């Protein structure tokens, strides 16, 4: 097997693993949201803090907050580091975007043969 074929195969496996991980994360997020919605009318008639439903709702809420913060952080990082010829990286290097360029004078554009 050539090295190019190995690289393509490794890339395909990596993408498949990323898809499986994304699907698992999506399933966990939807399951947590569904659990919170299904237990929205949970009666707090119990005394003490040992209610398993309350603990599970708190864990699901914490999971949703963490996933939301991670997604927002990744989106901000990606927007700040995105390289494009149309939009310079203003967030990471604001001075580099405003460097004045040398303007060619009329005499620089014409060749004088003396």
Residue range 40-90, pLDDT digits in tens: 888 777 776 778 888 888 889 999 999 988 888 888 887 777 654 445 455
Going by C-alpha positions, the residue among 35, 72, 71 that lies closest to residue 55 is: 35
The rounded distance, in Å, linking the Cα atoms of 58 and 60 is 5
What percent of the chain is predicted at pLDDT more than 70? 68
Mean pLDDT to the nearest integer, 107-114: 57
pLDDT at 112: 58
pLDDT at 95: 52
């Amino acid at each position: 097997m050539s090295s190019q074929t190995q690289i393509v195969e490794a890339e395909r496996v990596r993408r498949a693993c990323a898809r499986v991980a994304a699907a698992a994360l999506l399933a966990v997020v939807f399951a947590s949201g569904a659990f919170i919605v299904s237990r929205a009318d949970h009666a707090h008639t119990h005394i003490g803090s040992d209610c398993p439903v309350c603990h599970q709702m708190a864990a699901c809420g914490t999971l949703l907050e963490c996933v939301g913060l991670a997604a927002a952080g990744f989106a901000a990082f990606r927007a700040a580091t995105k390289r494009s010829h149309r939009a310079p990286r203003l967030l990471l290097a604001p001075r580099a975007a405003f460097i004045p360029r040398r303007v060619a004078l009329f005499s620089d554009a014409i060749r004088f043969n003396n």
